Amino acid sequence: MTPSLEQARRPAPDRSFDRSFDPLFDRPFDLPFDQPRTQAPPLGPAPRPALASSLEPHDGGLRAALDALDRRSSTTGGYAYLDEEAKREIRRGLLKAVAVPGHQTPFSGREMPMPYGWGTGGVQVTASLLVPDDALKVIDQGADDTVNAVSIRVFFARTARAKTTTRTSEATIIQTRHRIPETPLAPGQIMVYQVPLPEPLRRLEPRETETATLHALAEYGLMRLKLYEDVAKHGDIALSYDYPVLVGGRYLMSPSPIPSFDNPKLDRSPALHLFGAGREKRLYAVPPHTSVESLDFEDFPFKPQSWAQVCGLCGAADSYLDEAVLDDRGGRLFVCSDSDHCRRRRRTP
Amino acid sequence: MKPLLAAHGLTKIFRSPSAEQSAEPTTGPLAGPPAGPLDRPSDWPATGPSAEQPAGLPAGQPACLEVALEVHAGEVLGLVGESGSGKSTLLNLLCGAVKADAGQSLYRDALGLEVDLQNVEEVDRRRLMRSELGFVRQNPRDGLNMNVSAGANVAERLLAGGERRYDRARAAAAAWLERVEIPVRRLDDSPETYSGGMLQRLQIAKNLVAGPRLVFLDEPTGGLDVSVQARLLDLLRNLVAGLRLAVVLTTHDLAVARLLSHRILVMKGGRTVESGLTDQVLDDPQAPYTQLLTSSTLSL
Amino acid sequence: MGLGAFAAAAALVQAAGDETGRLESLALWSFRRAAKPRLGLPCAGRQPAGRKEKKMPTTDPQVMVKVCALSKTFTLHLAGPAVLPALRDVSLEVRAGECLAVVGPSGAGKSTLLRCLFGNCRLTSGEAWIRRRGRLIALSQASPRTVMALRETTLGYVSQFLRVIPRVGALDVAAEPLVSLGRSPEEARAAAGELLERLRIPRRLWTLAPSTFSGGEKQRVNIARGLVKSSPVLLLDEPTASLDAANKRTAAELINEAKARGAAVVGVFHDREVRDMVADQTLELRPIGGGRPLEELA
């Protein structure tokens, strides 16, 4: 859709208030694309873009999500490693993903300075959202101090001079690999998940054409077959992570390899959850206050994991526990997987 | 009484890239055998409205030409013909799996509404195929999921249709395995361990578990040993009688047609050559091609 | 005379012009009064194709089977083509409670006539009617579903050779017509068992498939299968051919019982003794001399 010559001659209309429009189409031909606008747009809560008002059937969850995304389109010139076009494209993809909860949207992923399988999807989503006043928390299996978490945090600290934090309650964007923090999320927070395999039916139906058709027709009998098989073979549903969920009663989604213990945290969560798969180049999202139900049978209901032990460090009985091997004589210790949660509990007895 | 399935003017032409050059040499060393008494289409008096290919359709290999038929509840219609007569294509056209070039296939669903299976939305067609219709394929491996257990195969339509209790789904699967004479202890076995006849019976159970009103059977006994075939035919006869199913059945074996079907349609080259009551068509064939078929069968 | 009366009345109606309503009913009333129960219209030979038979061929409600100028010709396309006339201009009428015996030498078309009445053969020309629930159904215009309905409710057929359904026991073979009618299997088996006992088929044979039975045993199973439904019209093709004297008498008893309850029977009996016991009228068929190849006819 190229602007006509006449449109190009006329002065561009003032669209600075409306950041959902792509400035690409407002530019006259003679300006190159990567030059900044003449007017720096104000930061802070933006006036409602025209897009959201037409999406009335969704509740305030979608509006909040669109606000959150919208406020972040103000950076310039390669902030957080990616160029503005790439970030714009990813944000557009995220808008579509938020508009259709649970549906996988393709995006043109860029080459990132880490290989596939190391979080490129999550990094691209975070990069496209990051603004200077964000506080970024990065966790890997619940801990802030593992190698991957540290690497990605340093990456954003360098390329975006982002403010980073390990406290869940202070973070505005939390990028996570395979866990949701124990601390309840607040409205306005964004969770970014690193997803290896976005398609929940992939192991049951290897053809992408078929899975796309099944999603379009909402035919999820194949997944229910898998659950039946599990009960027939093992006596109960044998999925402990990447437990398939039905989002908004319509789309089947893989919530990334989080443990099934964390699935209930997605249901009607006040935060926005964004999922990025770098290798498969797919985005999907769960807007705030959306129903997320784990698939099960009436007579074999969904049971998240539970432990007989409590955390050896802070004594929590309701958090996800990791088993740590202490010595080579069989000594074990169960500790909270969420290091921030454990530390906070230890500090405030 | 209104028919359960009524097809009008179903036509399907498979377009060949060399349709213009399809004339075969009639003389010389490449020519085939000289035309016999029944090799010319004009020798087969067709009961359809046209003996020639209707104008306005693209050139190509006609698989079905203006086929019209009716099936009522509780009735078995047999489509009889040799290989290449178009009966399998017709079956696919009737259930809407293949888009026809012309014609409609009107199915009267459980609520009495008439649905054109050729023109309906894919969502609705798939829903009907899961709940009210069934399709048993010639090769059971095409109609079964070989990666899950036999019980899961049978329970699939129930689970997809909204069954949320595992024990009910399993009980229904076990009951149907028993009905098709497969030992219930094989419920959790993989279909890879089943023999050919058992696979075909498993496919039948899978199609019947949701209680369909109309079932399409594509050569149900093709490729099976005689004793296995006999057992399968007995099962089909009992099921049809017991469940009051409407069945459209394809076969090249006249004995199967005589045993199972109430009415038959004899097909050749995509056209209907003759149709009527099974015993009448097979005992008093009017068309030359039907007489050829009935005189060609061996009998013990 | 009735015809003349109707014609006269119709002329009256036309002459009167507009007062069609009253005069028409007057004409019909006079026609009905004048008509006596009679055999109906004389069989006029070949009917024009496609013309719906508006007038009933007979007004006698007792007539269960009526055949009018029926002809059947087999055309064998593969043998020439060769044309084999089997029946020519056959007419008959059978009332409820009567038995018509079809006699004639071998090859005269007796079995073909029965097959035509059963709907197993198409009629080349002429017409045959079977009464079903008070109405006469024309066989040449009947759709396959109508013939199936006829067979279910009205027609019982005992064929010359038992067509064996494999692996089904003799009791179930005989009971099958009742089961397909909707009766419970126990009820059907009980009724079939009574007939088999009367026909002296030993109980130990009831669960065995008839393929290994002797000719006489097969024929008796066939008779049981044909008679179990108590059909209003029975078509019997040599039912006693392979039976011994005692069983012949039993078969004749069964046929007479069927007649007593109002069935119309059309049968081919070679056996004079049985024919004398059951038949009320006789129809003699003679073989039609030689067929000519189709080209010569044209």
What domains are defined for chain C?
A: 3-46+53-288 (3.40.50.300)
C123-151: average pLDDT: 93
Residues B205 and B216 both lie in one domain: no
Burial class (CB in 10 A: 0-12, 13-18, 19+), C60: middle
> What was the pLDDT predicted at A19?
38
Spatial separation of the C-alpha atoms in residues C122 and C142, rounded to whole Å:
11
A209: contact with B, CB 8 A cutoff: no
Last residue of a domain, one of B189, B210, B231: B210
Please name the residues in contact with C242: beta carbons below 8 A apart, sequence gap of 6 or more. Answer: C214, C215, C216, C218, C219
Residues B92 and B157 both lie in one domain: no
Residues B128 and B249 both lie in one domain: yes
H/E stretch holding C153 reads helix C144-153
Residues B41 and B171 both lie in one domain: no
A181-203: average pLDDT: 95
Q: Respond yes or no: is residue A248 known to be catalytic.
A: no
B160: contact with A, CB 8 A cutoff: yes
Query: Taking a C-beta distance cutoff of 8 angstroms, is the pair A134, A170 a contact?
Result: no
Tokens of A300: 């074999």
A299: contact with B, CB 8 A cutoff: yes
Cα A279–Cα A284–Cα A288 angle in degrees, nearest 5:
145
Q: What is the pTM of this model?
A: 0.78
C207-216: average pLDDT: 89
**In which region does residue B63 sit, left (phi positive, over 0), alpha (psi from -120 to 50) or beta (all else)?**
alpha
What is the distance in angstroms between the Cα of B172 and the nearest Cα belonging to chain A? 13
C121: contact with B, CB 8 A cutoff: yes
Q: State the residue range of the domain holding B114.
A: 5-132+212-299
C48: contact with B, CB 8 A cutoff: no
* Confidence check: pLDDT of A34 > 50: no
- Quick one: closest CA in B to A219, which residue? B160
Residues B87 and B193 both lie in one domain: no
Residues B53 and B118 both lie in one domain: yes
At position C68, the amino acid (one-letter code) is C
Query: Taking a C-beta distance cutoff of 8 angstroms, is the pair C226, C218 a contact?
Result: no
Last residue of a domain, one of B210, B226, B257: B210
Spatial separation of the C-alpha atoms in residues B160 and B176, rounded to whole Å:
17
Of C78, C144, C166, which is closest to B291 when you measure between CB atoms? C78
For residues C244 and C288, which has the higher predicted lDDT (pLDDT)?
C244
Please name the residues in contact with C17: beta carbons below 8 A apart, sequence gap of 6 or more. Answer: none
What CATH number does the domain containing B273 carry? 3.40.50.300
Q: Give the ipTM.
A: 0.79
B284: contact with C, CB 8 A cutoff: yes
Query: Taking a C-beta distance cutoff of 8 angstroms, is the pair B158, B209 a contact?
Result: yes
> What was the pLDDT predicted at B116?
95
At position A117, the amino acid (one-letter code) is G
- Quick: pLDDT tens for A63-79: 777 777 777 777 766 78
Residues B204 and B216 both lie in one domain: no
Spatial separation of the C-alpha atoms in residues C151 and B262, rounded to whole Å:
12
Q: What percent of chain A has pLDDT over 70?
A: 81
Touching subunits of B (3+ CB pairs, under 8 Å) are: A, C
Residues B271 and B151 both lie in one domain: no
Name the band, by pLDDT with cuts 50, 70 and 90, for residue C46: very low
Spatial separation of the C-alpha atoms in residues B52 and A230, rounded to whole Å:
57
At position A340, the amino acid (one-letter code) is D
Residues B153 and B244 both lie in one domain: no
Spatial separation of the C-alpha atoms in residues A172 and A170, rounded to whole Å:
7
Spatial separation of the C-alpha atoms in residues A327 and A334, rounded to whole Å:
14
Residues of A in contact with B164 (CB under 8 A): 297-298
Of A224, A298, A300, which is closest to B160 when you measure between CB atoms? A224
Domain total of chain B? 2
Query: Taking a C-beta distance cutoff of 8 angstroms, is the pair C89, C45 a contact?
Result: yes
- Quick: pLDDT tens for B199-254: 999 999 999 999 999 999 999 888 788 888 888 888 888 888 888 889 999 999 99
Name the band, by pLDDT with cuts 50, 70 and 90, for residue C291: very low
Contact B295 C78 (CB under 8 A): yes
Touching subunits of A (3+ CB pairs, under 8 Å) are: B
Residues B30 and B167 both lie in one domain: no
Contact A299 B165 (CB under 8 A): yes
A232: contact with B, CB 8 A cutoff: yes
Residues of B in contact with A220 (CB under 8 A): 160
Residues of A in contact with B209 (CB under 8 A): none
> What was the pLDDT predicted at C55?
61
Rg (CA), chain C: 22
> What was the pLDDT predicted at A22?
39
Residues B19 and B114 both lie in one domain: yes
Strand-pair category, C281-284 with C99-103: parallel
- Quick: pLDDT tens for C51-101: 554 567 777 888 999 999 999 999 999 888 889 999 999 999 999 999 999
Last residue of a domain, one of B185, B210, B235: B210
Q: Respond yes or no: is residue A102 known to be catalytic.
A: yes
Average pLDDT of every residue of chain A: 84
Name the band, by pLDDT with cuts 50, 70 and 90, for residue A60: low
Residues B67 and B42 both lie in one domain: yes
Q: Respond yes or no: is residue A119 known to be catalytic.
A: no
Q: Respond yes or no: is residue A221 known to be catalytic.
A: no
- Closest to B232 (Cα-Cα) out of B246, B249, B211, B214: B249
List the alpha helices (DSSP H) in A161-310.
208-217, 221-234, 263-266
